[in-house]
Amino acid sequence: MNFNENQLKKDLPAIRAGNIVRVHQKPEEGGKTRIQVFEGIVIAIKHGKGINATFTVRKESVGVGVERIFPLHSPNIVKIEVVEKKKVRRAKLYYLREAKGKRALLKRV
């Protein structure tokens, strides 16, 4: 077993594009740590399942779109919850960046 395999998390939920997820992150600011929650739609998963895997989560906050890219196996991510599963036909949902109104809605599974 090499170094990269030791760093992989084993207890990850099945994340897919279109899922609404809640990511619990542990940022360290000024020597203090706290839990920060970011909830939104997964619009992309990149670099497979390996150590370099990332996923992009998007949400609307006060009418402004906010996107965050999280490393899947980061030690700063405490927990990833799948809140709701949506049905999509694309692997990358970048069209949601410009979508307004009904076009921005995704179908439930």
CB neighbours (10 Å) of residue 19?
Answer: 23
> pTM for this structure?
0.86
- Under 8 Å between Cβ of 8 and 51: yes
Closest CA to 71 of 23, 3, 5, 16: 23
Amino acid code (one letter) for 6: N
- Under 8 Å between Cβ of 23 and 57: yes
Q: Number of H helices and number of E strands within the chain? A: 1, 9
pLDDT digits (tens, 9 = 90+) for 9-67: 788 889 999 999 999 999 888 889 999 999 999 999 999 888 899 999 999 888 888 99
Domains along the chain with CATH numbers: 16-96 (2.30.30.790)
CA distance 38 to 33: 16
Q: Which pLDDT does position 1 carry in this prediction?
A: 61
